[in-house]
Amino acid sequence: MKIKTGDKVKVITGANKGVIAEVKAVFPKTNKVIVEGVNVVKKHHKPSQMNPDGGIEEFEMPIDASNVMLYDSKAKTVSRVGVKEEKGKKVRVLVKTGTVLK
């Protein structure tokens, strides 16, 4: 998986299409990512001893990694990711712009 935590991505399909946000978590085994503010769901909690008021909690659920592409904020475009060797180390590179990712 070429997407890492902290990368800026753009959602390319689904209900949140067009949203540009940061990746909060990556799950390589299931090929899913959690993107900030995308696929937000609500969970209702019954009152309990630990939470006597109960309430509604909102949180992000994972989406498939194929539904996002890395975003280059300088060029304002999305791109696939390639791997290039630079000074004896492999680095991730945006294919369209050639920008090296950290």
Tokens of 5: 């935590």
pLDDT at 102 over 90: no
Say what the pLDDT of residue 65 is.
96
Residue 41, class by beta-carbon neighbours within 10 Å (0-12 exposed, 13-18 middle, 19+ buried)? exposed
The fold adopted by the segment(s) 8-76 is SH3 type barrels. (2.30.30)
Whole-model pTM: value is: 0.85
Residue 87 gets the label, from left (phi > 0), alpha (psi -120 to 50) or beta, of: left
How does residue 1 score in pLDDT terms, banded at 50, 70 and 90? confident
pLDDT at 28 over 90: yes
Q: How far apart are CA 78 and CA 40, in angstroms?
A: 23
Q: Which of 62, 16, 12, 57 shows the shortest CA–CA distance to 35? A: 62
Sketch the domain layout of the chain as residue ranges.
8-76
